Amino acid sequence: MNFESLCVIGMGYIGLPTASIFASNGIRVTGMDNNAEITDGLKAGRVHIFEPGLRGLVLDALASGRLNISSDVTPADAYIIAVPTPFYDDRRADLRAVIAASESIVPNLEKGNLVILESTSPPRTTADIVAPILEKSGLKTGQDFMLAYSPERVLPGRILRELVDNPRVIGGIDRTSAEAGRDLYRKFVKGEIILTDATTAEMVKLMENTSRDISIAIANEFSRMAEKFDVDIWEAIGIANLHPRVEILRPGVGVGGHCISVDPWFLVEAAPEEANLIKTARQVNDGQPAFVADLVSKVGGDLSGKRIAFLGLAFKPNVDDLRESPAVELAHHLTDAGAEVMAYEPFRSDAKIPKINLVPSLEEALIDADLIVLAVGHDQFKDLDPQAIKEKTTARIVFDAVRIWDKADWEVAGFRFSGLARRY
């Protein structure tokens, strides 16, 4: 099946790269978003997302005329819904953006069109929520138009490469819909394309991220035990991982981002009686920032009135994404303990976060600090020279939550060094 035009709804971390790649492969693409700041910025050539290679790709697509930015859904051969799916305070999936995007397609839907939901969603969202909305057009799913679910499965920092090279799962509401999705994505996907049904594809995406969440939870729980037993968790993990069938992940401040920290809750919501392990893992990882904050308090003493140079707010190293970031949660716990947090996030120094003071440089974060907390292992922080840092700050206490600094080097420079279950 040949598709000449495409409308991508949502110009976020997935929608913008997807729209740009399709445009660079010859399809006429409308990138739609209802955020005027985003659309106006893109029209002016301002790319609001940091991702290696993305800015050049977007600007080239715009210059070619194959990518147009709009605040409205426009008629097309195919539509991709790539909007956020956060959760409410009670951890239920917030599908309002998916519903609104589906409704925006209805006036434009024609026979022979293909609609693909990419947004991570609870099982049966495509069949039970999106399909009935689209059928308000008077057209019948699987008969007049095609509908499929195809989740993104990419890692921030490698999005452009992984969109092309990773296997792509396409779950159709019927076989014809799945095959149509395959024909569309084959425009740029070099990885294997696997066809299945929509609900299976939805569950596959949730299973992938939930499995990793559980693996991180056991590492974080091990770190708590190591603190209790006075064991260096990093040494213990290194030894355990010598076993040929063991691969324990790294503990840290917690789990963040818009996938791993969110997706497991969709399974808990959909099957609460069956998802006991999944729920427990989520609770462990959600509680890790508070655990790390307690460790900081132990080494720093009463934090009331103390100034903390806080390094890193992104949910993982070398990205600008602060969504569901455990580092942000850790900073909030420290402010709740009375500390004044001076945070330096090199990828998002212009972010606005309540109760946290973001500063534009490392030097400004270090001024008059009592304590240095490393929360994210950005490359910019890995090779910091303790002797040089000593000249820039009054702080003499360092807490490394992600184990990228050498304890001996900092102690030689005159710092009292601590970290997450760290002895060496």
Label residues 39-72 b or e (16+ Cβ within 10 Å = b).
Answer: beebeeeebebbbeebeebbbebbeeebbbbeee
Active-site residue, selected from the candidate residues 111, 140, 259, 382: 259
* 13, 82, 265, 289 from 158: Cα distances, Å: 11, 18, 25, 26
Active site residue 259: yes
- Contact in structure between 66 and 28 (CB atoms under 8 Å): yes
At 74, list the tokens: 């426009």
Active-site residue, selected from the candidate residues 111, 190, 205, 279: 205
Strand locations in 14-123 (E): 28-32, 67-70, 78-81, 114-117
Torsion over CA: 249, 254, 259, 264 (sign) = positive
- Bridge partners (DSSP) listed for residue 416: 397
At 17, list the tokens: 């790269």
Residue 212: exposure state from Cβ atoms within 10 A (0-12, 13-18, ≥19): middle
* Rounded-to-integer distance, Cα 210 and Cα 299, Å: 33
* 146, 246, 318, 377, 419 from 381: Cα distances, Å: 49, 30, 10, 7, 15
Label residues 363-401 b or e (16+ Cβ within 10 Å = b).
Answer: eebbeebbbbbbbbbbebbeebebeebbeebebbbbbbb
Tell me if residue 67 falls in helix, strand or coil. Answer: strand
Q: Hey, what amino acid is at 183?
A: D
Q: Write out the catalytic residue numbers.
A: 205, 259
